[in-house]
Structure 1
Amino acid sequence: MKIVFAGSSEFGIPALKKLKEKHQLLLIISQPDRPAGRNQRIKPCPIARFAREQGWELYQPENINSPESVDKISKLYPELLVTASYASLIKKELRQIPTFGAINLHPSLLPKYRGPTPIQTALLNGDHKTGTTIFRLTSRLDAGPILAQRELVILPEDNYGSLKEKLANISAELLIEIIPAIKDNSLTERPQDENLASYTHKFSKKDLWINWDNKIKNIFNQIRAFSPSPGARTSIHNTNLKILQAEIYDSSKNDKPGTIAGFIKNKGILVNCQDGQLLITRIQAEGKKVMSAWAFQLGARLSAGESFVPFNQIFMENSFREEL
């Protein structure tokens, strides 16, 4: 099938690879290069970077729905438009160009978790199951009829990075499986149940900071949801830290939340939460490389009884309005 692909994040790369292998990939569309990072250097999004590395034709319009974009895509006579985390609305004129319309890959079991952060939200909520949905694009956000779904069990050791990779791979596999049925019109579409719809939102920097007064499971899930990037945050000894991995160690013991309860040799740092102790195992100090929490505490000379900076103090000293 002749396909145009639109995407921006790493989530779409496995699907892009599969489409290139199995079908005629006419064009790859991604967002324009933007300023990123502390130095605000102009950088391509992951899809654009990957396409350039492969030497594939890339198109980066400021507005995919502009007359110029519509004209360019129309002249290719595509049969299908596939999108995956493209981060822009695809309007009706563009959706109607391909013979078999436009479809999207979404990393949740729609109608649950519509919107931009379904993977992080599933982890934050402590869900045990998620999945991927391929649906037909309409004018409403993630609300089009479902073409196919596949479930995935969320393991206790999963974090945002591992879960995103798994969902990206099963989305790519499912896409390749259903394209023949799309072409011969043998795929049954089913409408989403609006009564079951839920929505996710973009996170701000405030969402990254750990409130040690919270329940231990909530803190554990927060660390998973933002690891390996951008990382759940805390601070001690005037040093900001990313907490990248932790374990629920003991739900029967606790002391003042945020205090260091002790250390486990060659493993990490025990921290008191509202209803138990969390074992921090991997950490990254600001401007430093990722290391074991045990190695960090040796260098930082932490002591039992010391406290991480309280969430309210962090909140008062910083502005967290900006989105991630």
Structure 2
Amino acid sequence: MTETIIFMGTPDFSVPILEKLHEKHNVALVISQPDKPVGRKRVLTSPPVAEAAKTLDIPLFQPQDIRHDEAVDQIRGMAPDLIITAAYGQILPKALLDIPRLGAVNVHASLLPKHRGGAPIHRAIMEGDAETGVTLMYMAEGLDSGDIIASVKTGITPEDDTGTLHDRLSHLGAKLLNETLPALLAGTNSRVPQNEGQVTISPNISKEDELLDFEDNAEHLFNHIRGLSPWPGAYTEMDGKRLKIYGARLLEKHSQRQPGTIDSVTEDGFTVVAGDHRLIEVTQVQLAGKKRTDASEFTAGRQNLEGTILGGIS
């Protein structure tokens, strides 16, 4: 018997999971967010998962609102055995969760119950976690609150940023789902309720989250920068212009200058004083209106950077 599986996902994170699933199983339908205008020219662009579905020749459905009766009825009409979601981006109504014979499961980029919510990868780095992972869970009406089916861990290194961790977790999620599906389809998998006493929430990144506060200590600033790199980017202000910082190193050096002060220009960029007077070295930046560049190129030809004070911008 061939099971009917519906896959729901939208961003790059979801693509390897769909591709791995498609290798061995019947993905009868892919559901993704609608096409949206992108860039300065507002070019209508399909989400990565929608593009992947077209490449794999899988039927594609892109409803504006998955909670609408017409969308739910269309899915019900397919009588799916299993719905699998990975970063779809809309809340699924109970009417939809109740449709598949074997339930609806989600591939979530954290070790639940920690980091429930929309930005688990960013927040794991920003909060200085030593490890994170991927959890396969049954979907419920609460935010990422369903029973845990399986999980896999990975360490977070000082060299990681959200980009590297995102890619690693995506492929770990694809592997975990592939390994767990036989038991899921046979109904022999385990399910463990989450410990509600250990829940943490990781909401989507806001504009306020992107602003660097140099009164914070160096380790927190370092985690903040790499947790927001390569997107959306942490920022500060230099000479009245927004300066995004995408790369940094944590140094074992200190300065008694005011926090936010550029202490020195280095071979790879420049150092900045943190709130605990420890230095971080900035290695990759983007000044408003300019392209992203290595900080060494940014400092070339700039005079009197030492002593400049970086500050917040609203």
**So what's the TM-score if we normalise by structure 2?**
0.93
For the 8 Å contact 1:30–1:48, the answer to whether it is kept is yes
| 2:128 matched residue in structure 1 | 126
Structure 1, unmatched stretches of 5+, are: 319-324
| 1:167 matched residue in structure 2 | 169
For the 8 Å contact 1:109–1:133, the answer to whether it is kept is yes
| 2:150 matched residue in structure 1 | 148
Structure 2, unmatched stretches of 5+, are: none
Equivalent AA in structure 1 for residue 260 of structure 2: G
| 1:6 matched residue in structure 2 | 8
SS at match of 1:127: coil
For the 8 Å contact 2:254–2:273, the answer to whether it is kept is no
For the 8 Å contact 1:254–1:277, the answer to whether it is kept is no
**Among candidates 5, 14, 24, match of residue 22 of structure 1:** 24
SS at match of 1:100: coil
Distance 1:286 1:46 in 2: 28
Distance apart, 1:287 and its partner CA: 3.2
1:258 maps to 2:266 = no
1:73-122 Cα shifts (integer Å, max 9, x gaps) = 22323211000111212122212222211000111111111111111111
Distance apart, 1:52 and its partner CA: 3.6
Equivalent AA in structure 2 for residue 23 of structure 1: H
SS at match of 1:250: strand
Distance 2:259 2:139 in 1: 46
| 1:196 matched residue in structure 2 | 198
For the 8 Å contact 1:254–1:274, the answer to whether it is kept is no
Distance apart, 1:3 and its partner CA: 1.0
SS at match of 1:220: helix
1:31 maps to 2:33 = yes
| 2:94 matched residue in structure 1 | 92
| 1:113 matched residue in structure 2 | 115
SS at match of 1:168: helix
| 1:268 matched residue in structure 2 | 269
Distance apart, 1:299 and its partner CA: 4.0
| 2:307 matched residue in structure 1 | 305
| Aligned positions of 1:280-295 closer than 5 A | 280-295=282-297
Deviates most, 247-256 or 221-230? 247-256
Distance 2:253 2:52 in 1: 44
Equivalent AA in structure 1 for residue 235 of structure 2: R
For the 8 Å contact 1:243–1:284, the answer to whether it is kept is yes
Distance 1:119 1:225 in 2: 8
SS at match of 1:99: coil
For the 8 Å contact 1:100–1:183, the answer to whether it is kept is yes
| 1:296 matched residue in structure 2 | 298
RMSD over equivalenced CA pairs, Å = 1.7
SS at match of 1:6: strand
Distance apart, 1:254 and its partner CA: 3.8
Distance 1:71 1:177 in 2: 31
1:205 to 1:40, Cα distance in 2 relative to 1, 3 A: farther
1:60 to 1:193, Cα distance in 2 relative to 1, 3 A: same
Distance 1:130 1:155 in 2: 11
| 1:321 matched residue in structure 2 | none
Equivalent AA in structure 2 for residue 121 of structure 1: R
Distance 1:214 1:203 in 2: 19
Distance 1:52 1:287 in 2: 35
SS at match of 2:64: coil
1:148-200 Cα shifts (integer Å, max 9, x gaps) = 01111001110011111111110110001011001111111111111111112
SS at match of 1:97: coil
Distance 1:228 1:161 in 2: 6
| 2:67 matched residue in structure 1 | 65
Distance 2:42 2:152 in 1: 38
Number of paired residues?
A: 311
1:222-242 Cα shifts (integer Å, max 9, x gaps) = 101100011111221343222
Distance 1:41 1:300 in 2: 37
**So what's the TM-score if we normalise by structure 1?**
0.91
1:233 maps to 2:235 = yes
Distance apart, 1:132 and its partner CA: 0.7
Deviates most, 247-256 or 278-287? 247-256
SS at match of 2:170: helix
Deviates most, 86-95 or 15-24? 86-95
| 1:74 matched residue in structure 2 | 76
For the 8 Å contact 1:255–1:273, the answer to whether it is kept is no
